[in-house]
Structure 1
Amino acid sequence: MTAASPTRVLIGFADAFAAIESAWSLADAGHEVFAFARRGTSPALAASRRVRVVPVTAPEDDAAACVADVVNAAHRLGASVLMPLDDLAVWVADRTGLRVAGATGKAADFALDKRLQVEAAAGAGFAVPARTPDGPWIVKAAMAAIEQDDKLIRPGGRAAATEADVEAATAELAGPVLVQQLLTGVGEGVFGFATPDGVRAWSGHRRVRMTDPRGSASSACRSIAVDDELRQCTEKLLASVGWRGMFMLELLRDADGTPWFMEVNGRPWGSMALAVRRGFDYPAWAVRQALDPAFVPEAPDPEPPHIVCRHLGRELIHLAAVMRGPMKDHPGPWPRRAATLAALRPTRADRWYNLRAGERRVFWRDTWSTLATQAARMRRRAS
């Protein structure tokens, strides 16, 4: 089999934010795509005509059983390559013994341990948030995935204004933590594909809007060029850990223009739609590399025009938040309603996450699922 031959690829988890666009990138490359999902769930990707979803034990219930189920599914389906789509899947994939289009071994350790990432970023010349004498701070789990009693946990983070808050957050979070200065700014991402001869196919994004104006993932983002200084620091960081394949560096650019290092995503990332729409087929390239380690991708030439990509469900949540007005815990200026309505008005130039001809059921199911999840979250907060 050559690297260009169609293969059966097993990806997961199917509800990962990058799942739909990654699956389509692989299908467009001619691969047969299967996606594993937690048993009893029905992700939006299940509505795709080009992907078959298979159930596995949720790693939050039984991590060992999840690994075994993924291995059995790969063997049963004849999948040649396994691609993890989120951090829990990176942990699972590293324990399967299968051919993985992604991080394994020391690379998986690096992808899941923010302490290793922060150390490498500082050594490469990035500005890295440190613990300042005075707050506020962000207390976040150092590990993206932690196994406890054979159950997998993905701990998050907490804001802290006092030392007592830091102690409380540390006690609540599983495993070791990082305590860093709480910064404000605009989120950016640096994408690329690392090869033995350096990074190829550079691209990037800048956040346009957040789902929650107080701070959250993007509801809309814009593609941007990656400047030379960031490229040099990124090359040095990745070379120091021997990284291969696709990557995403998450940055926060403050009001003074300083790009602060946040973390490395060693698997498909949230704004994959933006990259794929512009011809940067990182998921398909990762499978090619898994089949042929000497593979080097070719970036689109000339580089395509920059675009904005929007997620309908998240944009609607953003609009609802702005119309509702700021909450007591919001310290900064709140978006104006008139400006938000104008900014959210659809245009012909818009690109939408998870929308393509012949797959509109996926788009609407994803939108509905996003809104339903937000509604459930709000009910829990109110109770």
Structure 2
Amino acid sequence: MAMTVLVGFAESLAAIESVWSLRDAGFRVVAFTREGRRPAVAAAKGVRVVEVPSPERDLTASLAALRALVAEEKAVAAMPFDDAALLLTDRLADIVKVAGPTGANAALALDKSEQLELAAKAGFAVPDTAIIRPGEKAELPGAGPWMVKCAEAEVERDGKLTRPSGGIARTSSEAHEIAAEIGAPALVQRLVDGVGEGIFGYAAGGQVFALSAHRRVRMMNPRGSGSSACRSIDVDPQLAAAVAHFCELAGWNGIFMIELLVDDAGNAWFMELNGRTWGSMALARARGLAYPEWALRGTLDPEFRPPATPPAPHLLSRHLGREIVHLLAVMRGARGADAGRWPSRGATLAAMLRPAGRTRWYNARRGESAVLARDTWQTVAGQLRRR
């Protein structure tokens, strides 16, 4: 009988590809979703999706439902797909094995200020940063503009989880106003313009394995958002050394993603650590890098190490729904301050219709077209409702 793994949240960007990775490895997958959601992964074959109270409404009720689900399903492990689930699964570690960070590693994964401090020690370039705590003032690094964002990936307040949004500040008073709205420790960093890159891998026993990397090609929103297309790239040896040192200092075990921003001069700036599965999992899986499966196997067997097989050749990975949203934004045209750096309509159409090299679509699988169709519709409709 297949072992059951509890995963979530099912509506996370990483969910579909991660669920397929686990299912293909022979595990029975039960995915938890926030009440009232109808995630696309529910259309995947052989996957049970269960609603639980949203932690953004009642954290205690959400945790209680997950504890009951672990017992009901006799789950051998729980795996987080996003930061809210990471916080919850850390609190399940007394009743089930967690295929993700727990204890000090969970605290690190949820605290960006701690990540920045460790990254500097590990040899990464880190933007000059000030921390503004609620009710306090701080001297800001250099001259603006600055990016102001919450230092905590998830904020627990009044028995609920929240993810305060930040913004760009051009004056000190504006930075303090944004920080005050966050209502939790806020990071104020010198704004860095550049292209997003990520380094991924698996850490165990003080070593890192199966490192890979990607670079953003397009963003869903041209003025800044998650990627709609990304391309795999070689891992820079210097960055690989910093990654290994970072994981060693953290005592990290399991999968990870380190997010970077590469400026025009080629400097790679550390942005944050993601301690769970990530959105571009389709790209990794297309190259034979089964990170979700490895995370689970390493949890069940501490001696497990990923195979040393070289990954498949580089390729481009595209999310159909996000690509449509990107195209709609470009065709609508720039507004205000965006006018000088808005993508060209013609160049965008050419790049999207004639992509160079091998291409893999997110969440696309033969025999399960309903998953891609639902994911695409939900992505586009969700963005249009926000406008």
* TM norm. shorter chain > 0.5: yes
2:341 to 333, 348, 356: 333
Asked whether the equivalents of residues 206 and 251 of structure 2 are also in contact (C-alpha less than 8 Å), the reply is no
Letter in 1 for 2:81: L
Residue of structure 2 in register with 1:109 after alignment: 107
Question: 1:307 aligned to 2:315?
Answer: yes
C-alpha separation between the residues in 1 aligned to 2:338 and 2:147?
15
1:209 counterpart residue number: 218
Map of 1:159 onto structure 2: 168
- The structural deviation recorded for 1:157 is 1.9
The alpha-carbon deviation at position 377 of structure 1 amounts to: 0.7
Q: Is the 8 A contact 1:88 1:154 kept in 2?
A: no
Paired residues of 2:57 and 2:160 also in contact (CA < 8 A)? yes
Aligned Cα root-mean-square deviation (Å): 1.3
Provide the residue aligned with 1:80 in structure 2: 76
Amino acid at match of 1:263: E
SS at 1:202 equivalent: strand
Deviation per CA, 1:147-201: give whole Å up to 9, x if none: 1110111223211111121111011113101100111111000001001141010
User: Deviation string for 1:192-240 (max 9, x for gaps)?
Assistant: 1001141010111000111111111100000111111001111111111
Tell me what 1:127 maps to.
Answer: 125
Cα separation, 2, equivalents of 1:329 and 1:11? 41
In 2, Cα distance between the equivalents of 1:232 and 1:254?
20
| CA contact 1:194–1:200 (8 Å) conserved in 2 | yes
| 1:94 equivalent in alignment to 2:90 | yes
- Aligned partners of 2:122, 2:206: CA distance in 1, in Å? 18
Segments of structure 1 that go 5 or more residues without pairing to the other structure are 379-383
Could you report, residue by residue, the CA deviation over 1:237-285 in whole angstroms, capped at 9, with x for unpaired residues? 1111100110000000000000000000000011111001111000000
Equivalences for 1:229-308 in 2 at 5 Å? 229-301=238-310, 303-308=311-316
Deviations 1:306-343 (A, max 9, x none): 01000011101111111111111327421111111111
Structure 2 partner of 1:23: 19
Number of equivalences? 373
Q: Which runs of 4+ in 1 moved over 6 A?
A: none
Read off the aligned partner of 1:60 and give its amino acid letter. E
Amino acid at match of 2:157: Q
Return the offset for 1:116: 0.7
Determine the structure 2 residue equivalent to 1:37: 33
Q: Does 1:353 align with 2:362?
A: yes
Structure 2: unaligned runs, 5 residues or longer: 130-140
Q: Report the counterpart of residue 133 of structure 2 in structure 1.
A: none
* Alignment partners' CA distance in 2, 1:78 and 1:195: 26
SS at match of 1:330: helix
Per-residue CA shift, 1:97-133, capped at 9, x if unaligned? 2210000000000000001100000111111111432
Give 2:174's aligned amino acid.
D
Indicate if the aligned counterparts of 2:206 and 2:252 stay in contact, CA closer than 8 A: no
Q: Which residue of 2 aligns with 1:173?
A: 182
- Give the aligned partner of residue 118 of structure 1: 116
Partner residue, 1:381: none
Q: Distance in 2 between matches of 1:243 and 1:285?
A: 15
User: What SS does the aligned partner of 2:38 have?
Assistant: coil
The CA distance in 2 between the partners of 1:125 and 1:256, in whole Å, is 18
Q: Which among 360, 365, 373 is matched to residue 364 of structure 1?
A: 373
Asked whether the equivalents of residues 9 and 31 of structure 2 are also in contact (C-alpha less than 8 Å), the reply is: yes
Asked if the contact 2:221/2:326 (under 8 Å) is kept, the reply is yes
- Give the TM-score of the pair, scaled to structure 1: 0.95
**Given that residues 249 and 263 in structure 1 are in contact (C-alpha distance below 8 angstroms), is that contact kept between their aligned partners in structure 2?**
yes
**Partner Cα distance (1:339, 1:329) in 2:** 20
Whether the aligned pair in 2 keeps the contact of 1:280 and 1:299 (CA below 8 Å) is no
Letter aligned with residue 201 of structure 2:
G
Which residue number in structure 2 is paired with residue 317 of structure 1? 325
Measured in 1, the distance between the counterparts of 2:347 and 2:339 equals: 20
TM-score of the superposed pair, with normalisation by structure 2: 0.94
